[in-house]
Amino acid sequence: MFLLTPFLVAVVCILMLWIFKNADGGTERRNGEPRAEARPWVDEDLMGSTDVHQEEAEADEWQESEEEVEHIPFSHTRYPEKEMVKRSQEFYELLNKRRSVRFISHEQVPMEVIDNVIKAAGTAPSGAHTEPWTFVVVKDPDVKHKIREIIEEEEEINYLKRMGPRWVTDLKKFRTNWIKEYLDTAPVLILIFKQVHGFAANGKKKIHYYNEISVSIACGILLAALQNAGLVTVTTTPLNCGPRLRVLLNRPTNEKLLMLLPVGYPSEDATVPNLTRKTLDQIMVTV
């Protein structure tokens, strides 16, 4: 028994060290920065795979791609250099007026305009031309209010628990919180879903390469098209709301919510933060 004492002492020491470390780690989690499980950007709908090898584990379920596509002559309009400069400057000045507007009028907007801006968004490039996007346009007041209820319920949790004090503090200058009145007042809500995969006519899955990047590009074009049409919006990413909104809007499980845009005219009393943008030399490097 006496010979085992050093061994038992060593075991007890190791056990106490393990308990101390775990207790210390718990204190750090309580007093320090939030751990990964509290990070709101770890959202179910933002975790859809964009891995180009995602089909390997279940190859029989995936549709083979087309081997041949006809190639046709490219039609291009080339402008004189002065016209190019003029058009690029005018386009920049137009987009430089774009602001995130949270005060949106009830006034209705022409649906033909909404159709056109979404068609413009649909011209975005995509991985292997899979076009992995779905734009859900919501006009029904009851559905809009249900969307607001879902988002405000989750956003209150986001602000109070998930986001952490640093993020909440960074947002104070924008005077934003979990109350989203514009979800009721905006005449149109556009919810943009990324399709993590598609389906072929025979029911097999169709790979959507780089689906989140592709849909993000489409969102950028949509924002430019809305600005060009004289409408306003604010880019919102309803964290942790995707599954409930997908069910509400009867969307399939291969679609994951990426962004929500309330769209309309600015209200008469609309205000925006007095912000400036980075200069060219701060965002461009020429090699």
- Average pLDDT value for the chain: 84
Helix (H, G, I), strand (E, B) or coil at 57: helix
Q: What are phi and psi of 252, to 5 degrees?
A: -70, 165
Model pLDDT, residue 43: 56
DSSP letter for 133, please.
E
Q: pLDDT for 92-120, tens place per residue?
A: 999 999 999 999 999 999 999 999 999 99
pLDDT at 76 over 90: yes
Tokens coding 183: 């979800």
Find tokens 């549709």 and name the residue.
Answer: 63
Residue 148 CA to residue 179 CA, distance in Å, equals 9
Q: pLDDT for 180-224, tens place per residue?
A: 899 999 999 999 999 999 988 888 899 999 999 999 999 999 999
Q: What is the percent of the chain with per-residue pLDDT over 90, rounded to a whole number?
A: 61
Beta bridge partners of 191: 136, 260
**Of 65 and 145, which is predicted with more confidence?**
145
pLDDT at 18 over 70: no
Helix (H, G, I), strand (E, B) or coil at 49: coil
Model pLDDT, residue 35: 44
Residue type, 144: K
Determine contact, residues 248/144, Cβ cutoff 8 Å.
no
| Rounded mean pLDDT, 228-249 | 94
Helix (H, G, I), strand (E, B) or coil at 129: helix
CA angle 177, 228, 178 (to 5 degrees): 5
Model pLDDT, residue 28: 44
Model pLDDT, residue 51: 47
Q: What is the percent of the chain with per-residue pLDDT over 70, rounded to a whole number?
A: 77
Residue 93 CA to residue 97 CA, distance in Å, equals 7
In sequence order, which ranges of 97-175 are alpha helices (DSSP H)? 111-121, 141-157, 164-171
User: Structural domains in the chain?
Assistant: 91-267 (3.40.109.10)
Q: Would you list the DSSP string of 111-123?
A: HHHHHHHHHHHTT
For 199-252, the three-class secondary structure string (H helix, E strand, C coil) is ECCCCCEEECCCHHHHHHHHHHHHHHHHHHHCCEECCECCCCCHHHHHHHCCCC
pTM: 0.79
Give residues with Cβ within 8 angstroms of 79, minimum separation 6.
87
Q: pLDDT for 183-192, tens place per residue?
A: 999 999 999 9
Residue 193 CA to residue 216 CA, distance in Å, equals 10
Model pLDDT, residue 40: 46
pLDDT at 38 over 50: no
pLDDT at 45 over 80: no
Give residues with Cβ within 8 angstroms of 172, minimum separation 6.
none
Residue 229 CA to residue 250 CA, distance in Å, equals 29
Determine whether 46 is exposed, middle or buried from the number of CB atoms within 10 Å of its CB (0-12, 13-18, 19+): middle
Residue 245 CA to residue 251 CA, distance in Å, equals 9
